[in-house]
């Protein structure tokens, strides 16, 4: 019961739902990349963009999106995990999405609106859990 209260409470139900949905979305994103084997492809893109050890970095991104979101869902290490995920999303905007404009679908394709929403949700999560003492 204690674990359940850590994850979800009546007092913070709105932001808890937001946190858990963001975790589910980001977890699925990283897990799918691992499942389908596209992490090395991301690694090549990162290496071509000037990042050292691109494939290792790609697997670290997948680890942050899977393991990090489990920690975030449980309200463990909220600030560091949120900052790492923010950095990943912001880097994704700079490297990939900004060249396609704002819209993901509709008037555009491949833009950064979805990443902007996730970044906002992570900022809200970090702010609302800033006083969390769970380590």
pLDDT computed for residue 64 by the predictor: 97
pLDDT computed for residue 135 by the predictor: 52
pLDDT computed for residue 131 by the predictor: 76
Identify the residue whose tokens are 């929403």. 117
pLDDT computed for residue 58 by the predictor: 97
Predicted TM-score (pTM) of this structure: 0.89
Dist. CA 64–CA 84, nearest whole Å = 7
pLDDT computed for residue 32 by the predictor: 97
pLDDT computed for residue 7 by the predictor: 87
pLDDT computed for residue 113 by the predictor: 92
Q: Which residues of the chain have pLDDT under 50?
A: none
Q: Record the tokens describing residue 122, joined without a space.
A: 């992570």
pLDDT computed for residue 12 by the predictor: 87
pLDDT computed for residue 108 by the predictor: 77
Dist. CA 64–CA 29, nearest whole Å = 11
CA quadruple 93, 99, 102, 104: dihedral sign: negative
């Amino acid at each position: 019961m204690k674990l359940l209260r850590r994850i979800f409470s009546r007092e913070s139900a709105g932001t808890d739902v937001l946190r858990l949905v963001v975790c589910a979305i980001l977890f699925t994103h990283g897990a799918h990349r691992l499942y389908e084997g596209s992490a090395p492809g991301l690694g090549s893109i990162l290496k071509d963009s000037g990042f050292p050890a691109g494939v290792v970095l790609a697997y670290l991104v997948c680890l942050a999106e899977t393991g990090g979101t489990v920690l975030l869902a449980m309200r463990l290490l909220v600030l560091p995990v949120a900052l790492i995920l923010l950095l990943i999303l912001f880097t994704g905007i700079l490297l990939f999405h900004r060249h396609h404009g704002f819209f993901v679908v509709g008037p555009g394709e491949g833009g950064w609106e979805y990443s902007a929403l996730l970044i906002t949700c992570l900022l809200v999560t970090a702010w609302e859990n800033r006083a969390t003492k769970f380590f």
